[in-house]
Amino acid sequence: MKISLIVAKDSRNGIGKDNDLLWHLPADMKFFKETTTGHIVLMGRKNYESIPEKFRPLPGRLNMILTHNKSFQAPDCLIFHTVEEVLGWKEANKGDERTLFIIGGGEIYRQFLNTNQVEEMFVTQVDAVFDADTFFPEIDEAVWQRELVLEHSADEKNKFGFRVYRYTK
Ligand SMILES: NC(=O)c1ccc[n+]([C@@H]2O[C@H](COP(=O)([O-])OP(=O)(O)OC[C@H]3O[C@@H](n4cnc5c(N)ncnc54)[C@H](OP(=O)(O)O)[C@@H]3O)[C@@H](O)[C@H]2O)c1
């Protein structure tokens, strides 16, 4: 089992505001869905609650949620209470060929990057600047190499253009 991360950020690393996304980009949502379907997604409790009820748990994926709240429950989701518990679960399931995708938000991205166990990142770079209150950490270009995997221009349905980079160490 590999740990990957997937995020969409603006030109200043903004990823969210008021527990919501900053943009509506169906083409990037499609990339997210195609990349993560059939795999495992791990999210913070706030990210989970920001997903409209009818869309959660994210279909076709094992949904895992991190919360300190021992009585928190969510239908058809696995609940974890520490980062170490998630890493222990990953170790116990290392023969599982699915990827464990860290899907945010900000607190979850930061803590998993600090574990140094993230092997791969898919980063959507949105060509705009927003008034964000949640940010992705600065990517250390000395540690991570990137390749362009998708480029999409602004169009009728996607107000902003974006590029998706795959980062590996
Ligand atoms: N652009 C993107 O790609 C993207 C992706 C995902 C999310 N977002 C945005 O990011 C924002 C949410 O991010 P956020 O940083 O505010 O919240 P978050 O990371 O989604 O969730 C934070 C919560 O996770 C739990 N948690 C965090 N660390 C933990 C630990 N070590 N052990 C146990 N539980 C832990 C806590 O839940 P409890 O309080 O229940 O203990 C904490 O309040 C929203 O605006 C969302 O739209 C953007």
| 3 state DSSP class of 68 | coil
| Structural tokens at position 47 | 């990210």
| Cα–ligand 1 centroid distance for 122 (angstroms) | 18
For the chain, the domains span 21-72+80-96+107-154
**C-beta 107 within 6 A of ligand 1:** yes
CB 20: neighbour CB atoms within 10 A? 8
Alpha helices by DSSP H, the chain: 26-36, 45-50, 83-92, 106-114
How do residues 44-85 score in pLDDT, each as one tens digit?
999 999 999 999 999 999 999 999 999 999 999 999 999 999
Q: Kindly state the DSSP code that residue 26 receives in the 8-state scheme.
A: H
Q: What's residue 111's pLDDT?
A: 98
Q: What's residue 101's pLDDT?
A: 98
How do residues 105-150 score in pLDDT, each as one tens digit?
999 999 999 999 999 999 999 999 999 999 999 999 999 999 999 9
CATH 3.40.109.10 fits 21-72+80-96+107-154, yes or no: no
**C-beta 114 within 6 A of ligand 1:** no
Q: What's residue 67's pLDDT?
A: 98
Nearest CA to ligand 1 atom 25: 67
